[in-house]
Amino acid sequence: MSDKKRILVEPKRGILRTLTRAEVASLQEAGHNGVHELFRQCCIAVLNTGLAMDDSKKILERYTEFDVGILVTSRGVSLELHNVPYNENVFVDGELNQGTEEHLFSVLRDIVFFRSEVQRTAAYDLESSQGITDAVFAIFRNANLIDVNRPPAMVVNWGGHSITREEYEYSKMVGYHLGLRGCDIGTGCGPGAMKGPMKGAALGHLKQRVGNGMYLGLTEPGIITAESPNPSVNSLVIFPDIEKRLEGFVRRGHGIIVYPGGVGTAEEILYLLGILMHPENSEIPFPLIFTAEEKYRNYFDLIHRFIARTLGQEVCEKYEIVIGNPAEVARRMKRGIQVVEEFRRANDDHPHFNGLLHIDTAFQHPFAPTHENVSKLDLSMDQPKHMLAANLRRMFSALVAGNVKAEGIKEIDEHGPYEIRAPRALMDDLDELLRTFVEQGRMKINRDEYRPCYRLVGE
């Protein structure tokens, strides 16, 4: 089937059907300023669902003729898509499937809300820790994802987008056992270990006759093009940057499961451990489980060794490692969630928003992955461990950008690999970790084309 020249998309299920005058003005403005290009690129990501590409630069080049218009009427808003490349994963008999349409309107909802209600008003102080947390809560609330009547059972699943079929099937089996226990699933919304748990949970929910299972996908504009929302996602949220996305995971989730992955997974692990290490969070329960099938046990042996040597053996008490037993992973997570629920009830915390968790601004303020910023990162071993975790998180975030984000790929093309300056005490462990990611093909889907975007420089 040839490309579609023009498609008119109207919102379903009441999404954006009723708008205030201010919201209408924001939508009209979005079509005539810099927000339009951001919105266009996120729409491209949604329309690219299911295609085995994770190079944002190449994906955007494929859609150079694509554009999207916003039509505002007295009854709501519609989208007018122009020159849409055909993708059998999003079209059914020449029409966009309903899930794709909902994802398009989720993109519009979140981008417009953040810029009109959060960024441009005095209601949220985005320089303060509490102001940023309030903004994260508001984004969830605006998406109707703070429902006090829903049982607290959101299990966040982190892991790589470039994984083997065996690893995918294992993540799906873990999701299945979580679904049997009534758990909702949250992931980064993309392929691989972000898709598997949702697919498995859907079957578990079906067997238990759970008709309202939530498959929550959290993303941000920089990563969504490389990791397009998978079809299982029925609640999609687009945060303005990676830091707010990460905060969204730990605020909305009741526990987290981690599967093998690459630099993005390492970023997520260091983000969460850095937060859990802060003294103010010592009494807050937060179940964290690393898991893989037996064949990939060495992956978490390596991660565990890296964490112990860089952040200290005591931080290893913050997580469990369960190998080759999906049912046991689900059982432990379910028990952990019950402890979380009791703690939040006893301490008057929100059942669906981890508001008592302290997050230092070092984990909240956006980090621009430029060569200068990367080379200046303080990776010394004599700083507070949670600050070392924060800077290691930034380093891995830059590598994610250099691997798959359009602006990061452009930065590498123009200036060469990032220079990571680390002390000798850290260099060998960091080199081993990154080399393993490359050797196991965890950096990009097309493993044969991978060109390292970094260079280690000892100090």
- Residues 318-322 have a mean pLDDT of 97
Whether residue 170 contacts residue 294, with contact meaning beta carbons closer than 8 Å, is answered with no
Nearest to 106 by CA among 42, 36, 31, 165: 42
Note the pLDDT of residue 1.
Answer: 45
Please indicate, yes or no, whether residues 346 and 262 belong to a single structural domain of this protein.
Answer: yes
Give the pLDDT confidence score for residue 74 in this predicted structure.
Answer: 63
CA atoms of 100 and 231, how far apart (whole Å): 8
Rounded to two decimals, the pTM is 0.93
Residues 96 and 186 in one domain: no
Q: Give the Cβ contact number of residue 73 at 10 Å.
A: 10
Are 449 and 306 in the same domain? no
How far is residue 3's CA from residue 424's CA, in Å, rounded to a whole number?
54
Whether residue 263 sits in one domain with residue 198: yes
Could you list the residue range(s) of the whole structural domain that residue 435 is in?
A: 362-458
Q: Do 355 and 366 fall within a single domain?
A: no
Q: Is residue 160 pLDDT above 50, yes or no? A: yes
**183 and 269, same domain (yes or no):** yes
Tell me whether residue 421 is in a domain. Answer: yes
pLDDT in tens, 35-44: 888 888 888 8
CA angle, 83 as apex, 78 and 86 as ends, to 5°?
Answer: 100
Q: Does some domain include residue 130?
A: no
Mean residue pLDDT across the chain: 89
Query: Are 376 and 319 contained in the same domain?
Result: no
pLDDT in tens, 267-303: 999 999 999 999 999 999 999 999 999 999 999 999 9
Based on the fold, state whether residues 208 and 333 are members of the same structural domain: yes
How many domains in the chain?
Answer: 3
What's the rounded Cα separation, in Å, for the pair 162 and 24?
A: 40
Q: Residues 354, 374: one domain?
A: no
Residues 179, 205 contacting (CB under 8 angstroms): yes
